[in-house]
Structure 1
Amino acid sequence: MKYNKLKPIYKSIINLKAFFLKKGYVLAIMLMVLLSCSDFIEVDPPKNILVSETVFDDSATVESALASVYYNLREYGIVGYGLSADMGIYADELDYYASNSHDLSVYLHSMTPINSKVANYWKNAYKLIYAVNDIIKGVDDSKALGADEKATFKGQALFMRAYLHFVLANIYGDVPLVTTTDYQTNNTIGRTAANEVYDAIIADLTLAVSLLDSSDPTGERVIPNKAAGNALLARVYLYTENWEMAEATASLLIDGFELETDLSKVFLKESTETIWQFKSDPADTRNTHEANQFIIQAIPGNRYSLSNALLNSFEEGDLRYDDWIGSFTSADGLTTLYFPYKYKALLSEVESLEYTIVFRLAEQYLIRAEARAQQGDMAGAQEDLNRIRSRAGLDDTPATSKASLLDAILHERFVELFTEQGHRWFDLKRSGKAGEILGSVKPNWKSTDVFWPIPESELEINPNLLPQNKGY
């Protein structure tokens, strides 16, 4: 994630590093990025709490700190390809064929609190929350940054804090709401009720949207701006059943972006409907991890394939089936498996053709459709739903009642947003249909599976996180 605008600052970052080492300061996570976003100094608290205010005297250094957060999210965080794969096998999108015991327990719904996936999602998320809290505090306290710079940097950090808490709350339920860099406080903090976490998320996003600029300084939609903040805000309003605000916020994006008419271009880096995406690493001329992990190139040897539940959900004539699904047949001709083919360029491609999309316009149409249906605006809900269906080559929805429209929208989200950022699992959970749908395809399904367990390692360190989630 080496943005063009950051290239001139690498030399100054190296000089800053030398300055701090000379002065005896310990750099925090904000100076993770040195020569490229691939090279990091990883310093865990409490070692990184001694940070000179001089770090925030230079806008380039703060830009580097934020770039490191985006890089970590793409490579190691709880947003990106990991979320798409893990939530895909946890729901009914993907089948799993490899032998990793931790992945198998996710797929088979036999997870325990010592599962490494459980621990890594939690640890990586809170590490980044600590980092953005550090950025927020440093920016607020800085006497060198200009007002516009402060607004932009703080807006980005608030957006990331909101997004991280959003995903945590959807995976674990009640989670710690961390808004400080006080290590002693964070090490003994208890869990906050999910509804209060959502209130804090909305507050962070509302402030972030007010601070962020509408422009796209990179021209590639790889740095969160006002549109990215509104995209997450619309989703949060939908999840919290604030239908009126979900409709209004989604409308802002529908009015400001253009739906890509050609399905083969939706996941290219220049797609007109992309709101925010993770840039591939130009140092390695890489494309997306999604393509590399989902495209089947050998049987055996694949980890994932699309489930029959998903394949059978496509209507006859759905162009998404033709363009977004690929297949591979084994050498003996006996086995054919299907895979997500939204991202088509492998990491070995010479040029980065695709970036990992986090928010795109099609979701906003489906958010507004659901919000309108919930408010009794059936015609408006049909109109939005039909925009997505029409692009896929399908006739208008036959659904007319509120109940049938909501079912149709949930179905449309399944075939439109499959293997993207955990949408399917989160939709099943929030709609109350997880047991109804997964009970027949997951033999070990339990009603308590709507939340993952709190990592055992975290409970041992901080007993204030007790009690453990039910069922574990």
Structure 2
Amino acid sequence: MKTYKYLILLLVGLSIVGCSNLEEEPVGLLSPEGFFSTPKDIQTAVNATYGHMINEQFWGRKQAIALMLRSDMVDLASTETERMEMNNLTTLTDNKMIDNFWPRSYQAIAACNEAIAGATHVDVADAVKNPITAQAHFLRAFMYFHLVRQFGAVPYMDSPAIPASATISRAPAAQVYDNIIADLEYAITWLPNTTTSRAIPSKAAAHSYLALVYLTMAGNTDNAVLLGKAFSEAKHVIDNKALYNLDLDGDFQNLFNANKIDASKEPIFALDYNNFEGSDNGYDQLAPMTGIRGDDRNQGGGWSVAVPALKVYTTWNANDYRRAVSMSDGASINGTLVPYTNFTISGHKFAKNQPYIAKYDRYPGAFARINARATSHNYSMIRYAEVLLIAAEASITTNNALARTYINEVRARARKGGATQKGGVEVTVGANALPADLTGAVTVADVLEERRLELAFEGIRWYDIVRRKMGGAPYNVFSASGLEGAKAGFTDDDYLLPILANEITRNPNLLPQNPGY
């Protein structure tokens, strides 16, 4: 008889977290030896991971909204305590948003571990099973990359079951990064060049994330080795974009149009909500969370929770097509077409007279439910434009002319204009001269600003703030001059989130707590 602390029990693709005293032939537990016999069984375990990632507790709402609120671009219109803590950078150790996405992250990781361990019991050629197992390695790296950037040192588990006598403590961030790199390198070896859906990782996705990992590890330094590795991985993707079937989409709006995104070459890895509404809160809620309160579109409009700070709109050049795509400055409310200066006509206490995020509620697709609470969106976790900007940032000190070429390629797409909506009406925005190409030497600040505009409201800005330590000088994004004004609660300790107090109570080995909490 053995006693195990199980982090996940895989049963028909669903995960259950808990503890069990396991006798021989336990009822209700599918052991790896008994369940995994074919490549399809490995894929079933991998699919459980995808389910966790699109869950409301992860990218469907909690994780994505927390990342938006912690940035300098998204303010809060509602008054829920856990969201106010995120927005004001006064997060406590019992924050309910963390209490959702922390365990959900580990459930996803545990499903990956099940797939990887189970694959050893499948007696087929490596060429048949390893490309499936490589999905699990990629997804495990993806999840740990989120965790280590948010919490620093975190428990690192790479097996589906831990003996009860074992202690689970926090692995140093450097060790977690080493493991992330190893997983991505395995994925590069075995993933295919292209896949039937951008929601299935490809070799390009692994190279792209490895580039971002190295850029993140370089942090706010000019570490030549790490920047060189980031550049090499990003340039590999750029130089082989035809092989990987990648390119910038001709119309920026297509990236946020659920009816067109499947045909786009720009997404490299995406989370796919197309026709999915699970019983475990699996559906997408970013559209209503960021939508205009009282908007007639989508049978009731949005919930007016996460909204751009007004300065985000007023300081963004009006001739940059990306502003028109990224924010709504007009809407139909109660049958009346109104500008953003009159959005409070809806009468709701959370409505604000300022532009709203439009990337998610404008074209939610055929599957959209009331308030677009479920959508057909494919959310790009990394896309080709970001790879160009990674390469630009990583090459500033070694090949500044090439950095300028890459950043200007992104800006050139923005100048093309395209087909979007304004106040709920379809409009065509023509090409114009802005944003103009950069000339002269490119700086880190140039790339960070381009990332802010190109990737606005995509859950990326907070990570840029952390890795470049932008809260203080010289960027001072949380000062009175910042887009949201001063966030008085900010200190350098806020670059990391706290480990939940209830997690430490259950397992004191998670101490020490992150500084400042």
Give the TM-score normalised by structure 2: 0.77
Alignment map for 1:150-169 (pairs within 5 Å): 150-169=129-148
Alignment map for 1:444-455 (pairs within 5 Å): 444-455=489-500
Alignment map for 1:217-366 (pairs within 5 Å): 219-241=196-218, 242-254=226-238, 255-256=240-241, 257-267=246-256, 268-282=261-275, 284=277, 288-298=284-294, 301-327=303-329, 328=331, 329-331=343-345, 335-343=352-360, 344-346=362-364, 347-348=368-369, 353-366=376-389
2:425 is aligned with 1:432? no
Structure number with higher strand proportion? 2
Distance 1:413 1:135, change over 3 A: same
Look up the match of 1:463. 508
- Alpha-carbon offset, residue 105 of structure 1: 1.3
- Equivalent AA in structure 2 for residue 362 of structure 1: A
Aligned partner of 1:112 among 85, 88, 92: 92
Q: Report if aligned partners of 2:48, 2:108 keep a CA contact under 8 Å in 1.
A: no
- Alpha-carbon offset, residue 70 of structure 1: 0.5
Q: Deviations over 1:181-217 (max 9, x none)?
A: 332379622212212211111111111110112231x
Aligned-residue RMSD, C-alpha: 2.8
Q: Deviations over 1:133-192 (max 9, x none)?
A: 12111102322x432232112211111111111111111111122122332379622212
Look up the match of 1:13. none
Sequence identity (%):
26
Whole-Å separation in 1 of the counterparts to 2:304 and 2:8: 39
- Alpha-carbon offset, residue 73 of structure 1: 0.6
Question: Which secondary structure does the structure 2 equivalent of 1:131 belong to?
Answer: helix
Whole-Å separation in 2 of the counterparts to 1:141 and 1:335: 57
- Alpha-carbon offset, residue 310 of structure 1: 2.4
Distance 1:153 1:77, change over 3 A: farther
Structure number with higher helix proportion? 1
Whole-Å separation in 1 of the counterparts to 2:114 and 2:479: 43
Look up the match of 2:413. 391
- Per mean C-alpha deviation after superposition, the further-off stretch among 359-368 and 345-354 is 345-354
Whole-Å separation in 2 of the counterparts to 1:332 and 1:125: 37
Whole-Å separation in 1 of the counterparts to 2:320 and 2:61: 25
Whole-Å separation in 1 of the counterparts to 2:165 and 2:453: 40
Whole-Å separation in 1 of the counterparts to 2:453 and 2:165: 40
- Alpha-carbon offset, residue 273 of structure 1: 0.4
Whole-Å separation in 1 of the counterparts to 2:47 and 2:131: 13
Aligned partner of 1:171 among 125, 146, 150: 150
Whole-Å separation in 2 of the counterparts to 1:332 and 1:134: 49
Whole-Å separation in 2 of the counterparts to 1:376 and 1:80: 39
Question: Which secondary structure does the structure 2 equivalent of 1:419 belong to?
Answer: coil
- Equivalent AA in structure 1 for residue 205 of structure 2: A
Name stretches of at least 5 consecutive residues in structure 2 with no aligned partner.
Answer: 1-5, 23-27, 219-225, 296-301, 332-342, 416-433, 481-485
Whole-Å separation in 1 of the counterparts to 2:140 and 2:346: 50
Name stretches of at least 5 consecutive residues in structure 1 with no aligned partner.
Answer: 1-25, 34-39
Distance 1:100 1:184, change over 3 A: farther
Whole-Å separation in 2 of the counterparts to 1:411 and 1:138: 44
Question: Which secondary structure does the structure 1 equivalent of 2:307 belong to?
Answer: strand
2:122 is aligned with 1:142? yes
Q: Report if aligned partners of 2:268, 2:384 keep a CA contact under 8 Å in 1.
A: yes
- Per mean C-alpha deviation after superposition, the further-off stretch among 90-99 and 333-342 is 333-342
Q: Report if aligned partners of 2:54, 2:60 keep a CA contact under 8 Å in 1.
A: yes
